């Protein structure tokens, strides 16, 4: 299910606030913080882009339980643990049957250029699901990482030493780049699965499929043939190289600026 359809369902349950006034990216941050996660926010008029923007998508336990069809936190936890232990392989469909609605080509400038705080070094992608497939192992991984946009065709990514890092080092040790696909605007259960930590080798998209009662379809990305969820709003493909750039500073979960690091 595409994110737009998820939003439609949440609207029927009065879980979305629609903001039609024109706003810039810093105003989006201020407004989002003021709601303290109570409702999903849909900004329909954002300066510099024709794309609507959704924030607070999983900002409250009420919304989280709605996605899990759960009565309480314990039930959410148990369903997630079961999905991590018993992932389900997805049905594959041709890419031409997928439902990606936005194609940005090789120009990242066509994305909303969101700068969240005044000292950010540039616009960031913060909720894209990054999917990689090991160049030697063939292991697939879905995870979420902040991505600093450096130009029309270049970004730098904050990678910590977890599963994506293992696939990246595998590629570097082979003298190769790591092909990746980035999906922006997908089902919230895919975001949750990509934020979880099943054992290395368990594909988080299959965890999401277990959470979605085996209703999640996959397709192969057009350039690198990476198995990805078949339905989303925006698809970007690229390669993580061994070249490094400054990443940060960026405000993290502590509410303070993280340090600047060299990142691929």
The string of DSSP codes covering the chain is --HHHHHHHHHHTT-EEEE-S-B-HHHHHHHHHHHTTSSEEEE--BTT-SS-EEE-TT-SHHHHHHHHT-SSHHHHHHHHHHHHHS--PPEE--GGG----B--TT-GGGS-----STT-SS-EE-S-EEEEE-TTT--EEEEE--EEE-SSS-EEE---TTHHHHHHHHHHHTT--EEEEEEES--HHHHHHHHS-PPTT--HHHHHHHHTTT--EEEE-TTT--EEES--SEEEEEEE-S--EEE---B-TTSSBPPPEEE-
Q: Which of 8, 107, 246, 252 is catalytic?
A: 252
Return contacts of 8-14, CB within 8 angstroms, 24+ apart: 10/40, 10/63, 10/66, 13/66
- Per the annotation, the verdict on 252 as an active-site residue is yes
* Tokens found for residue 236: 């970007």
Among all residues, which ones are annotated catalytic?
252
């Amino acid at each position: 299910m595409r994110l737009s359809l998820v939003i439609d369902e949440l609207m029927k349950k009065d879980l979305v606030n629609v903001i039609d006034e024109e706003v810039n990216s810093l105003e989006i941050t201020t407004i989002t913080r003021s709601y303290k996660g109570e409702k999903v926010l849909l900004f329909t008029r954002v300066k510099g882009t024709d794309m609507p923007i959704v924030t607070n998508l999983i900002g409250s336990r009420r919304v989280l339980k709605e996605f899990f069809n759960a009565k309480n936190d314990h039930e959410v936890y148990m369903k997630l643990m079961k999905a991590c232990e018993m992932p389900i392989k997805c049905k594959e469909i041709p890419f031409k049957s997928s439902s990606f609605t936005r194609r940005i080509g090789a120009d990242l400038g066509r994305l909303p250029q969101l700068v969240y705080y005044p000292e950010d070094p540039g616009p960031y992608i913060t909720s894209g699901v990054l999917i990689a497939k090991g160049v030697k192992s063939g292991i697939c991984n879905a995870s979420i990482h902040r991505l600093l946009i450096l130009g029309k065709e270049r970004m730098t990514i904050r990678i910590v030493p977890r599963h994506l890092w293992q696939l990246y080092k595998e590629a570097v040790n082979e003298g190769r780049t790591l092909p990746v696909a980035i999906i922006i605007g997908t089902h919230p259960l895919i975001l949750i699965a990509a934020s979880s930590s099943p054992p290395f080798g368990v594909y988080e998209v299959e965890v999401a499929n277990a959470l979605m009662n085996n209703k999640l379809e996959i397709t192969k990305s057009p350039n690198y043939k990476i198995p990805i969820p078949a339905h989303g709003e925006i698809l970007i493909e690229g390669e993580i190289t061994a070249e490094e750039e400054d990443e940060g500073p960026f405000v993290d979960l502590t509410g303070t600026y993280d340090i600047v690091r060299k990142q691929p």
